[in-house]
Structures are given as C-alpha cells and as structure tokens.
Structure 1
C-alpha cells in the first residue's frame, strides 16, 4: 500500500462526495478503477504516470477478460474506467496542483472502435407492463416487510418517481384522496431540488390498491406524518404506546435495488432497473395520449420541463419494437387506417361529447 496514494484517494473521495455530490455506488466504481491502475503501476505515486504506462494500461483494458466471463471488457466498462481515471488526474492537476504528464493522461482515451461501438449498441428494450406485473405477482405479502417491498415496487410503477425521491418520502406526502404525491424538495430528494406534484399514472386500479393499502397500514399502525413511507425497519405502534423511537429512512438506494432484484428472481425474469420503469411509463404515454397537450402533461408528471427530454431519453423505441410497428404499418390496409383515424378523432373529443356519441352508437 502506498501511503501517499492513500491520502490522495481519501481526499478524492471527499471531493466526489461533497463537491460533486456523487453517490456511494459511483464513488466505489471510481476507487476500483484507481486501484486497478495503481496495481498496474506497481504501487508508484499516481502523479508519476508515464506515457508508456498509460498506453500499456489502455491496451490492457481493451484486451483483458471481463469478470463476468466475456472474452473482453464491454465497451461501456472501458469507457467508464478511462473516464474515471481522467477525471481523477484532472483533479490532481486542478485542485492538488501536482505536476502530471499531460501526454500520459491524454493516452487514457478509449479507442475509436470502443466509442463507436458504445454509441451504436442495440437499444435495450424497456420492461413491459406485463413484466412489472409479473414481479408484483411473485412478491409475497404476508409480513410487514414483504408488504413494504411490494408497495415500493407498485409505487414506482404508479408514479415513475426516481429512487432517491422514493426512499425519502414521508407518509404525509401521499394524498390518497387526490391520488397524488407531493414531492416537497425540502424533504424529498428530488432531481435538481424541484418541487413536484405527481399524479398517479393510469396503470391499473389493482396497482393503486397495493399502494393505498400500504399507506393505510402505515397510518393505522401509528406512523407519524413525518415518518418514512418506506422505513428501513417498519414497526407497529400499539394504542397507548408512548415509545417515540423514530423509524429510520434508508440511507442509500441499494436496499431498494435489492428489492427489485429479489422480485425479479422470484418472477424468474431478468433484472429490472427501477429507473427503467420510467421508460415503460413514457412508452405507455405515447400509446394512450391522444393530444400533444395530454402528452405534455404526461411528460411533466415524470418531472420533465421539456417534452424533448421525455421523447429523447425515455420515449425511444428499442429496435425490435421499431420493426414491429413498421411492419404493422406496411400491412395495414386503408380500411384499418380509416378506423384508426376515426378512433383518434373520437379520443380528441371532450368527455361529454364522447359519452353522447357512445350512447348513440350503443343504441344504434
């Protein structure tokens, strides 16, 4: 162990945490990449990196097998490793004022093949609504911990909320009567510290009931309005119980991700990243929103100020879905297209006119 490098590592962790506001997972990855480079350098001081060492390490990354068993590291792993290392050396130069060979740092750059390969990877299909329902169906609800976990998955599907916001929610933030979540940025860890009023998405009454049942269980169990909606260790306070022990919030998002991982294993499906549920919801919005105004409302409900954000980052179709839709268009005859246009016109009518037209069609 190189004591000098350890001091730098300690200071850099503090910089990433306090200045950059990175989470534990991101910081741990950066430290793993630093350790790999340090071992390759034979434990020498980081700032002594030479051009030949940097080039050799770069070649090593492009050639070494993946721990997952692949012949080589994925393009993503190579890019992230080198990106983390360059950020570290930039910090050494800018903040620590250490003399570092800039030519050496410049050689910590992924090959054009890797960069192009990363940009042109086939798009991964977002989880389908059926897969999410499969998860929920496989989750037990016999214990308070099981019901908490099931409600957590249901709420993410119901609201599209980000992980950090979900684990910081308090009981008082759920408005059952209005079917909304008040994301108060003073108390909820929202992106960019934005206040948001999130309405529940139309994903099914059964999904709503899972969340409603959990909120009622929390309140009827004596939880304070300021208590976490999803506590690390939920407890039931009996009537007359004066114990004021506070329930703790989860400190990181890792337990939530483990809930998803365990549910996917139980359902015998591939792991669904909690954040990917937002893609599922955006594609659902594209399917059922009849007007641009409705689509804009749907986008804003996901926390996006601009519709472009939703369409570019969350509404992108995977290649298989793209091809399916295009083949469907090719096979659609004019009669079916006329029917589709009539359906769209019907959905754009005000609710009262739709109801009147439906009565006429039903009587006819």
Structure 2
C-alpha cells in the first residue's frame, strides 16, 4: 500500500508556501492544513488529487465523523477545522495549472459540515475561571524558600499583573519590565506575542502584595545575581548530574524556556497544592476581564482596560472573554426584577445616546454599521431636547454572553 503520492506532495508543498508567504499564516496554521490533508490522503489510499470527485468528500466526512479514536469519536470542532482546511486547499488547487480541467471551485463546497454540526462546533460554552480571590490565595500559599520557588511564585504573580500569554512570559527579558512605570512592554521583536503585536501593558490593580512579589523577584535577579537587561525575566532551571548520576535541579540558568510547558506545570502544581482544580495561565485573562467589568465606569475606562490586554478592538474583549458567570447572571437579573427602571427613553433614544457617547470618546468609527444605524435613526426619529442630549451618558459596559 502506498505511503505517499509524489504529485500530491509537490502540490502540497506549493500550497504550504502559499499559506506561509502569500497568506502570511504561521506554522500552526500550516501544520493544521498538513494534518487535514494527511487524514484525507490516508482515507483515499493516497490517490492523486487530480482524480478527486465530490463523492470522496462526502464519504470522507462520514468516515471521519464515525471514526473511533479510542476515546470516542472526534469532536465537532475538530471535524469543522479539518473540513475547513480541506475546503480551502481544494479551492486553491482548482485554480492551479494541471488541475483546472480536473477540479471546479464549487467541488470544495462538499467539505462543508452540516449546519447543525457547525452550530454544535462553534457553540460558546461557559469556561471554568477562577476568582481573583482564589488566584491571590494560590500566590499567597506558594512556598518561597528556595530560588526556584520564588521564581515559580513570581511567574503566577506576573501573569495576574499583566494578563500576558504564557508564550510571552516565557520569552520576556528583564528590560521589558519597567518597575517605575509598572509596565510590561511586549516587544514582538523579542517577545512571542499573539499575531506578533507590540504593545505596553500596565500592571492591573490586583493587589499590592502581588506587585511586591514581582518587585522582589526582579530585584533579586538584578542586585544579587547581577543579571542584565537581556537576561530572561523567568530563567530556566539549571540541571546538574547528582551523586546518583541522575539530573537534579541546581538553581537558575540565564536562558529562556524553549516553550511554555514549564509555566503550565507551575500553575498545575500551585493550584493542586491548595486543593483547587487546575486553571491554565490563559484563564487569568478571563479573571482580569471580569474585574474590568466590575470596575470600569465608562466606555473609555473599558477601552483602556481592553487595550491593556492587547486587544485592538474592545469587542474582542466582550465577545471572547466577556462571559457573565451564571451565578452573577442570576444576581443581576434578580436585582433588575426588584429595581424600577430609571429610563424614560424609547429604545431608539437610548441607542442614540449610546452611539453619541461612543463617538465623543472616539470608540466608534464613522461609517461603521453602528454609525449607519445611528444615522438612520436620526432621520426617522425626533431629536431629544438639547438639555436632555447634554445630560445623556453611557452606562458602564457589561459583556453579554452570546
């Protein structure tokens, strides 16, 4: 049985170059496309892509949906990602020399997942998120006797202070943290940031003790170890061969972790030590978003909070992280049930007030769909009195679950 097809390999190599160079995708995207194509080729017995027909796509969808992985069938999300990658590949392939007469662009549509399964795959489900008090308790409970223990405690403190992703934390240098300004400059030239964006994060107000832990750690690196600006903020563990010929931890080594796995292990160990379920480093971004929802009192406040997390659009913060906890949702609904409404405005007047406030704060771009709706409302409704318009304000934004 063949293990590859030379013609297919050449086509895939061109496609991967197209994704990387023309579409500017990263290695993870290319790897996902390669995995989808490998599954499809294994199913077809590595038949030439030129012999592709829609029946293959239909049969492959049924095969993959019913495939037993040993832990059950593949999730709907995995199926959606796999079929989407195959669809994009065959759409691209249909325009390539040697394939135009064999494939049509619409053939790739047969890789679409059903509407029902697509809704299941893309459904937003509540994520388990720790409370701020739980994270503070974890940090306070961590031992800090040895140098490695102090580093591990500072890792979680820094994650809570900045909301940085684990890849950025693993690659950060001492020079990227300004203690005087209480900021972390995520320089994409040296820090592994998402989408290679450079931005500055100012420490979130999560407690003076959390800040002190980070300050003590950086002071230790600079004053006691005499490390410089280009040394890692969180160095790797130095391993030496012990008396039993086994490798043992022996302090710090002035080099970065190669990936974020050690940071996740630190989180797992710390949370399990206080009998809490494991929450990954990214979950602390959700903690910070919920804290922002409670503290921000204006659109400008929340825009700054969102920007501090590295989000260019405030809607990213709302839609990706702004889930209201079920218990908090119940409290809010109950309070609204017992509190009379203070708004005497129509829905149109309220929408105009919100749009006007966003325009004043520079948070709404003219020409957007919201602004277009505003303009339409102005044409079809009576403007509010001048004194009313001057006193209108925008309530603090609260994320709504999808």
TM-score bracket, shorter-length normalisation: 0.7 to 0.9
Alignment counterpart, residue 325 of structure 1, candidates 328, 332, 336 = 332
More helix per residue: 1 or 2?
1
Question: Partners of 2:214 and 2:10 in 1: how far apart?
Answer: 47
TM-score where L is the length of structure 2:
0.68
Structure-2 change in CA distance of 1:108 and 1:14 (3 Å): same
CA contact (8 A) 1:52 1:104 kept: no
- Aligned counterparts of 1:29 and 1:154: Cα–Cα separation in 2: 33
- Which stretch shows the higher mean deviation, 309-318 or 151-160? 309-318
Residue 282 of structure 2 aligns to a residue whose secondary structure is: helix
Partner of residue 308 from structure 1, selected from 302, 315, 319: 315
| 1:48-84 Cα distance to aligned partner (Å, 9 max, x none) | 33211210111123333455x34x4322122111112
Do the aligned partners of residues 259 and 29 (structure 1) sit closer, same or farther apart at CA in structure 2, a change above 3 Å counting? farther
SS of the equivalent of 1:274 reads coil
Q: Displacement of 1:13 after TM fit? A: 5.0
Pick from 159, 164, 183: which aligns with 2:162? Answer: 159
Structure 1 pair 153–117 and aligned structure 2 pair: CA distance change class (3 A): same
Match of 1:2 among 1, 4, 16: 4
Matches within 5 A, 1:1-364: 1-4=3-6, 5-9=8-12, 12-13=15-16, 16=19, 22-23=25-26, 25-65=28-68, 67=70, 69-70=71-72, 72-93=73-94, 98-99=99-100, 101-102=103-104, 103-133=106-136, 135-136=138-139, 139-191=142-194, 193-220=196-223, 221-233=225-237, 247-331=254-338
Question: Structure 1 residues 142, 9: closer, same or farther in 2, change over 3 A?
Answer: farther
What is the CA–CA distance in structure 2 between the aligned matches of 1:24 and 1:145, rounded to whole Å? 32
Contact 2:5 2:48 in 1 (8 A): no
Unaligned regions of 5+ residues in structure 2, if any? 240-252, 342-402
* 2-structure distance, mates of 1:319, 1:183: 34
Contact 1:58 1:107 in 2 (8 A): no
- Residue 226 of structure 2 aligns to a residue whose secondary structure is coil
Cα 1:298/1:66, change in 2 over 3 Å: same
Deviations 1:217-236 (A, max 9, x none): 2213122211221234469x
In the TM superposition, residue 262 of structure 1 has moved relative to its aligned partner by 4.7
Deviation string, structure 1 residues 59-112 (Cα, Å, up to 9, x no partner): 123333455x34x43221221111122233344445676456345422111111
SS in structure 1 at match of 2:232: coil
Moved more, 131-140 or 193-202: 131-140
User: Normalising by structure 1, what TM-score?
Assistant: 0.74
CA distance in 2, matches of 1:182, 1:65: 46
Q: What root-mean-square deviation, in Å, do the aligned CA atoms of Structure 1 and Structure 2 show?
A: 3.4
Taking the aligned partners of 1:51 and 1:308, their CA distance within structure 2 comes to 39
User: Is the 8 Å Cα contact of residues 157 and 211 (structure 2) preserved in structure 1?
Assistant: yes
Cα deviation digits, residues 187-231 of structure 1 (max 9, x gap): 334445544332110111222122222212221312221122123
Q: Aligned with 2:171: secondary structure?
A: coil
CA distance in 2 between partners of 1:330 and 1:9 (Å)? 59
Query: What residue in structure 2 maps to residue 343 of structure 1?
Result: none
Distance 1:172 1:7 in 2: 45
Counterparts in 2 of 1:74 and 1:194: CA distance versus 1, 3 Å: closer
The CA distance in 1 between the partners of 2:311 and 2:300, in whole Å, is 14
Q: Which SS does the other structure have where 2:191 is aligned?
A: coil
The whole-number CA distance in structure 2 between the counterparts of 1:164 and 1:119 is 25
Q: Secondary structure in 2 aligned to 1:230?
A: coil
Q: Distance in 1 between matches of 2:18 and 2:259?
A: 19
> What CA deviation, in whole Å up to 9, does each residue of 1:108-139 have, x standing for no partner?
11111111223444333543224434554565
Report the Cα distance in structure 1 between the residues aligned to 2:29 and 2:140, rounded to whole angstroms. 32
Structure 1 contact 125–317 (Cα < 8 Å) conserved? no
- The structural deviation recorded for 1:329 is 3.3
Output the CA distance in 2 between the equivalents of 1:199 and 1:143: 29
Q: Against the structure 1 CA distance between its residues 151 and 94, is the aligned structure 2 distance closer, same or farther, given a 3 Å change threshold?
A: farther
Higher RCO (CA 8 Å, separation ≥ 6 residues) = 1
For the residue of structure 2 that corresponds to 1:225, the secondary structure is coil
Q: How many residues align?
A: 322
Distance 1:10-1:213 versus aligned 2 partners, 3 A rule: farther
Q: Write out per-residue CA displacement over residues 152-187 of structure 1, whole angstroms, 9 at most, x where no aligned residue.
A: 222121111233432332101111122212233443
